[in-house]
């Protein structure tokens, strides 16, 4: 009975952690539409508000690892929940732009620490044959959080100061996570769970040498310094290579930006106005949820390596197809950002709104990750776990809102002003409107890309990261890799439109395809299979020179 309770509470903590991560990343897309009017935000201020979460998350990645290793995973989750509650209250009660930035930065810090601690804690809490399922549950939470944020964005779109409710509602799942973690035990690594699990036969040992070692005494936790990550001791340098390779390829295969023009592709195949908006945001979000559930089911059966490689192959094929079709049927790119001129100004940012970028962490940490993010995020942070729902470029001054919400608020703006400003050419004049077959191929390729990411890189990156490092340095190692995830995401988001100007849209996506091929080779050569093995067995595998 106690074992089942621990399992259910671990699943709850993982799911709620991901849900909060995805919700916080997604909610800004709708809140920003009201904030730009209520606070007279210029394009630069909108970008600062969006980037505050990224900066807070990056700071957490640099400092959070020490908190997780020195004070334990459980305490880190408790502290991050309290910080998130404070950040949500600051945002809900904010009366100035500066307070909003502080609040979003605080939230970014909290969800980043939470994403890392949740993945590590759950991976250590459960038996080897359940680890893939329960850690992947974090990524599923990110995708559900994103969909929830879209729904609440729409509900509060016409409510006076509705953004306060949007930010404030994050308090409920945060409080639930805080209460759930209170009933869970301290980090089981300290309780020598390795020895007891082996004796009970929960973890099948690979050979007689490991069995003999288990009988001699409990697993002894080693102590590491941060610099050990770059040394040959216990093959730590190779582990760091695997971790950094996964998080960087997760970003450089194009996930943060591929969905940025999803609404354009939906328009091109004949879906107009509300249909395009709803399909682009909710439809793709639903695909991500389904694909992540498939990944959860397969993680402990097919294995991490298989899902990562299969996902990368499909992603590389998809973005290459999009790159080739866009050469023959080019997509029109909008780069507008308009600051609200007054309290009665229209909320329309573009005539044909773009869908927000779905995160991974993330976050999945996904990390968030998103995820997601997520991924999120990831934690990814998925963050991750692909981080932000609003893609901001310092030169293009583009803000990407939730499309269905934009259209709803546009109607309100019309009723107030009588006229609605137009920022682009009519749809019928678009050069890609005549290539129906190619546009459908592009649409299907994008859907395949979303599914492949949600099965492979989305959840598996953060699962592998939570497994490959020794317990004594797992928090700092995870945080180190996660910091590169946030930094790469920020870099790609800021440079995407400028790179398109320099080399063209199709070449950009062909480059993503090439990165996908390189990712497959990297996974094949360097990433080991970890399914069905205890964390200590994985540690022993890596420690051997090979």
Looking at the fold, whether 25 and 132 belong to one and the same domain comes out as yes
Residues 182 and 236 reside in one and the same domain: no
pLDDT score for 403: 47
Encoded tokens for 391: 């893609």
Integer-rounded Cα radius of gyration of the chain: 23
Question: Which segment of 239-248, 329-338, 354-363 scores lowest on mean pLDDT?
Answer: 354-363
In this prediction, residues 287-291 reach a mean pLDDT of 88
Give CA separation, 228 vs 223, 241, 467, 480, 491, in Å.
10, 13, 17, 12, 28
Out of 164-168, 275-279, 328-332, 530-534, the most confident range is 164-168
In which domain, by residue range, is 67 found?
Answer: 1-186
What is the CATH number for 442? 1.20.1250.20
> Lowest-pLDDT range, 53-67, 198-212, 456-470, 517-531?
198-212
Domain count, the chain: 2
Helix axes 128-155, 2-38, angle to 10 degrees: 30
In a shared domain, residues 541 and 460: yes
For residues 270 and 498, the model is more confident at 498
Residue 249: is its pLDDT beyond 90?
Answer: yes
Mean pLDDT to the nearest integer, 500-506: 80
Instruction: Please tell me whether residues 234 and 323 are part of one structural domain.
Output: yes
Examine residue 365 and state whether it is found in any structural domain, yes or no: no
For the cut 80, the answer to whether the pLDDT of residue 413 exceeds it is: no
CA dist., res. 401 & res. 22, Å (int): 16
Residues 236 and 174 in one domain: no
> What's the pLDDT tens digit per position in 352-386?
333 344 434 333 333 333 333 333 334 333 333 33
209-213, 252-256, 359-363, 503-507: least confident range: 359-363
In a domain, 390, yes or no: no
Domain-located, residue 232:
yes
Mark whether 171 and 251 lie in a shared domain. no
238 in the same domain as 168: no
- SS3 per-residue string spanning 114-138: HHHHHHHHHHHHCCHHHHHHHHHHH
**pLDDT over 70 for what percent of the chain?**
69
What the block records as the tokens of 383 is 């963050």
Residues 62, 137: one domain? yes
* pLDDT winner (highest mean) among 224-228, 383-387, 514-518: 514-518
Pull the structure tokens for residue 1: 């009975």
Tokens describing residue 464: 């592998």
Local confidence band at 218 (pLDDT 50, 70, 90 cut-offs): very low
Helix then strand then coil, in percent of the chain rounded to 5, is 70, 0, 30
CA atoms within 13 A on the CB side of 224: 27
Q: Is 430 helix (H, G, I), strand (E, B) or coil?
A: coil
Helices (H), 418-473: 436-455, 457-465
Residue 79 covered by a domain = yes
Residue 340 falls inside a structural domain: no
Q: Which residues contact 124 (CB under 8 A, 6 or more apart)?
A: 73, 187, 188, 189, 193, 471, 535
Q: Which residue has the higher pLDDT, 98 or 213?
A: 98
Reported confidence tier of residue 339, pLDDT bands at 50, 70, 90:
low
- The pLDDT, as a whole number, for residue 520 is 95
Phi, psi values for residue 371, rounded to 5°? -5, 5
Residues 29 and 139 in one domain: yes
Mean pLDDT rounded to a whole number for the chain: 75
Please indicate whether residue 217 or residue 302 has the higher confidence score (pLDDT).
302
pLDDT of residue 123: 85
Q: Find which of 225-234, 267-276, 413-422 is predicted with most confidence, using mean pLDDT.
A: 225-234
Q: What is the mean pLDDT of residues 266-282?
A: 61
With a cut of 50, say whether residue 417 has pLDDT above it. no
Is 323 in contact with 513 (CB distance < 8 Å)? yes
């Amino acid at each position: 009975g106690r074992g089942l309770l621990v399992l259910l509470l671990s699943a709850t903590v993982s799911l709620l952690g991901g849900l909060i991560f995805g919700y916080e990343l997604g909610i800004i897309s709708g809140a920003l539409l009201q904030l730009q009017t209520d606070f007279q935000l210029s394009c630069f201020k909108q970008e600062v508000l969006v980037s505050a979460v990224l900066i807070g998350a990056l700071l957490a990645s640099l400092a959070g690892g020490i908190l997780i290793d020195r004070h334990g995973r459980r305490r880190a989750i408790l502290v991050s929940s309290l910080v998130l509650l404070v950040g949500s209250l600051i945002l809900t009660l904010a009366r100035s732009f500066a307070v909003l930035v502080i609040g979003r930065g605080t939230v970014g810090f909290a969800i980043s620490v939470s994403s890392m601690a949740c993945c590590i804690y759950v991976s250590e809490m459960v038996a080897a044959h359940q680890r893939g399922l329960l850690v992947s549950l974090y990524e599923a939470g990110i995708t559900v959080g994103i969909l929830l944020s879209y729904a609440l964005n729409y509900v509060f779109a016409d409510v006076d100061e509705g953004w306060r409710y949007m930010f404030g509602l994050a308090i409920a799942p945060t409080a639930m996570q805080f209460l759930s973690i209170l009933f869970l035990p301290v980090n089981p690594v300290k309780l020598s769970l390795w020895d007891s699990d082996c004796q009970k036969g929960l973890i099948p040992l690979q050979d007689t040498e490991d069995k003999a070692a288990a009988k001699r005494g409990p697993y002894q936790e080693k102590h590491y310094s941060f610099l050990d990550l770059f040394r040959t001791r216990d093959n730590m340098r190779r582990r760091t290579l695997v971790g950094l390779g996964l998080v960087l390829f997760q970003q450089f295969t194009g996930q943060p930006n591929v969905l940025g023009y999803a609404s354009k592709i939906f328009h091109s195949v004949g879906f107009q106005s509300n249909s395009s908006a709803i399909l682009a945001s909710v439809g793709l979000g639903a695909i991500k949820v389904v694909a992540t559930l498939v990944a959860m089911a397969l993680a402990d059966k097919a294995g991490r390596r298989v899902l990562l490689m299969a996902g990368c192959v499909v992603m590389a094929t998809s973005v290459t197809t999009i790159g080739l079709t866009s050469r023959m049927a080019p997509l029109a790119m909008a780069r507008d950002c308009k600051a609200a001129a007054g309290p009665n100004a229209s909320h329309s940012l573009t005539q044909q709104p773009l869908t927000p970028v779905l995160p991974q962490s993330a976050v999945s940490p996904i990390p968030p990750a998103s995820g997601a993010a997520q991924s999120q995020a990831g934690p990814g942070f998925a963050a991750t776990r692909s981080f932000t729902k609003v893609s901001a470029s310092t030169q293009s001054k583009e803000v990407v809102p939730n499309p269905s919400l934009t259209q709803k608020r546009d109607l309100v703006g019309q009723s107030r002003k009588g006229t609605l400003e137009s920022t682009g050419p009519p749809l019928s004049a678009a050069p890609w409107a005549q290539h129906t077959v190619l546009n459908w191929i592009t649409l299907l390729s994008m859907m395949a890309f979303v599914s492949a990411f949600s099965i492979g890189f989305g959840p598996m990156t953060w699962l592998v990261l939570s497994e490959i490092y020794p317990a004594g340095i797992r928090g700092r190692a995870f945080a180190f890799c996660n910091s590169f995830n946030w930094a790469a995401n920020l870099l790609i988001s800021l440079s995407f439109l400028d790179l398109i100007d320099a080399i063209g849209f199709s070449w950009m996506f062909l480059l993503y395809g090439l990165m996908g091929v390189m990712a497959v080779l990297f996974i094949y050569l360097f990433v080991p299979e970890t399914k069905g093995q205890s964390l200590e067995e994985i540690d022993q595998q890596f420690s051997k020179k090979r």
